[in-house]
Structure 1
Amino acid sequence: MSSTRETAGSQRPRGWLSLRQAATIYGVSVDTLRRRITVGKLPARRFGPRLIRVQASDVEALLRPIPTIGTIHARHSA
């Protein structure tokens, strides 16, 4: 499993993360991740009877900011 510690200029973690690791890295609660898993918006895998893991890339995609009119106009005028 990959490291989840971030330092200045480091890349986002890759690979499987525990819900606690993902919540800490991405600034959301474990309950938020569990709700997204329950409704099918966040794929997850169970490793054993209790251990749930998510792919860092799936969490990143789920939490990617939605462009607003202001950011779209800023990109086009730059």
Structure 2
Amino acid sequence: MQEAAEYLGVTDRTIRQMIADGRLTGYRSGKRLVRVDLNEVDEAMQPFGGAA
């Protein structure tokens, strides 16, 4: 999750919120470790604004 947060320039909390609201799927590995698929992270990001 930390790598995904760094990749997007956001906090871990933002990634957790994206998992909670269904924009991303979290994959539990062990008791505490949660992973996300960076391909899914790219797909979840939608352009908006001027050039979109």
TM-score range, shorter chain: 0.7 to 0.9
- Output aligned runs, 1:1-78, within 5 Å: 19-66=1-48, 68=49, 70-71=50-51
Which stretches of structure 1, 4 residues or longer, exceed 4 Å deviation after superposition? none
Gaps of 5+ in 2: none
Matched with 1:3 is: none
- SS in structure 1 of the partner of residue 51 of structure 2: helix
Find the structure with the greater CA-based Rg.
Answer: 1
Show CA shifts across 1:35-69 (max 9, x none).
01011111110001111000001111112323x4x
Taking only the aligned residue pairs, the percentage that are identical comes to 35
Normalising to structure 2: TM-score of the pair? Answer: 0.82
Q: RMSD of the TM alignment (CA)?
A: 1.5
Query: Alignment length, in residue pairs?
Result: 52
Q: Matched residues in 1 for 2:51 and 2:23: separation? A: 25
Q: Matched residues in 2 for 1:40 and 1:71: separation? A: 26
Normalising to structure 1: TM-score of the pair? Answer: 0.58
Gaps of 5+ in 1: 1-18, 73-78
